[in-house]
Structure 1
Amino acid sequence: MSYVKATEVLPEEVLNIIQKYVEGEYLYIPRKKCNRKAWGETTKSKNKTAERNLEIYRKYQEGTSIKDLSEMYYLAPKSIQKIISKIKREILQKNAS
């Protein structure tokens, strides 16, 4: 997120109205709902996490324990269990259709 000078983008009338409420402070103006981006859409985080999760599942299938996976990926055992369960569900759904 970057900052933009209000004086450079807002008409003076709008700036005067805003100054009645906030003056000399930073103001965050959220995106409209229709313009919001999903998590990971602008970075590769979503894809990297999905790849990591598939790797965790593959290693689990090969016999690596949840405790060992937890230590390898610096995640709580419960998080590892959730990842494995989610991927199992996805595979079952994919095979059912």
Structure 2
Amino acid sequence: MKYTNAKKILPEKLIIEIQQYVQGETIYIPKQEKEYNSWGSLSGGRQWLEHRNAAIRHAFKNNSSIEQLAKEYFLSIETIKKIVYSHNGD
């Protein structure tokens, strides 16, 4: 996390207002929500998981058992159930 002296970037009037609440401490100012990227959107992780889950649903619809899928994908039976019974892939 990068720290910047408030005097270098904020108007004095705003600094005086902030000092009404906190002085001499480090505070974190988060990004606006619209600036956040959703998990995995930059790395491709989300897309990979969506592709994997679609393949699991497809295999389940084509008569692969939950136990077979758990072994094949190295996932727990409960995780496979969540994937195949969710409505995300419909």
The TM-score, its normalising length taken from structure 2, stands at 0.60
Determine helix, strand or coil for the equivalent of 2:15: helix
Partner of residue 56, structure 1: 56
Q: Which runs of 5+ in 2 are unaligned?
A: none
Q: Unmatched 5+ residue regions in structure 1?
A: 91-97
Q: How big is each residue's C-alpha offset from its partner over 1:36-72, in whole Å with a ceiling of 9 and x where there is no partner?
A: 5463374223312211111222333454432343344
The percent identity for this pair of structures is 21
Matched residue count: 87
Aligned-CA RMSD value: 3.2
Residues in 2 aligned to 1:74 and 1:18: alpha-carbon distance in whole angstroms: 52
* Structure 1 pair 45–67 and aligned structure 2 pair: CA distance change class (3 A): same
Shift of the 76–88 alpha-carbon distance from structure 1 to 2, 3 Å rule, reads: same
Say if 1:66 and 1:80, in contact at 8 Å, map to a contact too. Answer: yes
